[in-house]
Structure 1
Amino acid sequence: MKALDEIDRKLIALLQDDARMPVSTLAKRVELSRSAVQERLARLEAGGVISQYTVRLGKTDSSVQAWLMINHAEGFTCDDVIDLLRSLPAIRLCHSLAGDVDLLALVESPSPAGLADVRERILLHRSVASVTTAVVLRTLFDRS
């Protein structure tokens, strides 16, 4: 696939803001014809730059988000912890890290008590040595 140009990057940014934006609107915004935009989108999809169009649910005012910094126990690996994390619907995202923290997981819970329950369930697992919690106060921007 050829390198992304400025128009490709602008199309991607527009779709990140609104994945349901009509092709005709995209075409107007990047000052190309509708068919040229459709061809670019097809190329970006075929090249794996755009892998899916999805719905991202908004955070409700009452929900709580937190980042959990998880370290696996001696003799275990991230692979030993991931099935547990994957089984918890409140875990929205999980990264394996290099450095002092082994896993970084984003939790979204309807309440602080729910967050505490998720945290305790993880901490009680035999493959987990420690969990540090950083509660999100507010989201300043989100490009995901």
Structure 2
Amino acid sequence: MDDTDRQLISLLRDDGRASVASLAKSLRVSRGTVQNRQARLEADGTIVGYTVRLKPLAENHRIRALMTVSVEGNRIDQVIRDLRGDPAVSALHTTNGRWDIVAELRADSLEAFDAVLGRVRLLDGIANTETSLLLSTYKL
């Protein structure tokens, strides 16, 4: 991957629906170059898909939070498997340092969010959690 590939990925992150012509103009390369690079990045698995980003207020799940999770012993695979099965968990990230996992949580109401916290905290293998509600978003 070279600088042109990285710039192409950056442009696609900003607008996954950008036309090949506009990408080529921004990168100062031919349309064929953009098409070939995009196809190669998709074929080699660097680009795995395209998605839609919604404004936070446009989503049904208005309560959003980050939960940091400490896992007992070597049970991280089991905990991740269990968390992936919960519909309120929108993303999982393994980390280094004090916490083993960061889970992004979503719920429709505070009551529903309380239920999510209760379910997650009861999972086998979880030693400790800390949760922070996301109040405002400044960059999407």
C-alpha RMSD of matched pairs (Å): 2.0
Kindly, what percent of the aligned residue pairs are identical? Answer: 38
Q: Which amino acid aligns with 1:91?
A: V
Distance in 1 between residues matched to 2:33 and 2:125, nearest whole Å: 52
Q: Secondary structure at the match of 2:8?
A: helix
Matched, 1:40 2:37: yes
Aligned to 2:10: 13
| 4+ aligned runs moved over 4 Å, structure 1 | none
Q: Which amino acid aligns with 1:131?
A: T
Aligned to 1:72: 71
Aligned to 2:79: 81
Runs of 5+ consecutive residues of structure 2 not aligned to the other structure: none
Aligned to 2:106: 108
Aligned to 2:93: 95
**Which stretch shifts more, 130-139 or 43-52?**
43-52
Q: Which amino acid aligns with 1:23?
A: V
Runs of 5+ consecutive residues of structure 1 not aligned to the other structure: none
Deviation at 1:57, TM superposition (A): 4.1
Aligned to 1:128: 126
**Which stretch shifts more, 122-131 or 87-96?**
122-131
**Cα 1:38/1:19, change in 2 over 3 Å:** same
Q: Which amino acid aligns with 2:70?
A: N
- Identify which of 115, 118, 141 aligns with 2:116: 118
1:33-90 per-position Cα deviation (integer Å, ceiling 9, x unaligned): 21121112122223332222223444226702111111234x5611221222111111
Q: Is the 8 A contact 1:119 1:131 kept in 2?
A: no
Aligned to 1:22: 19
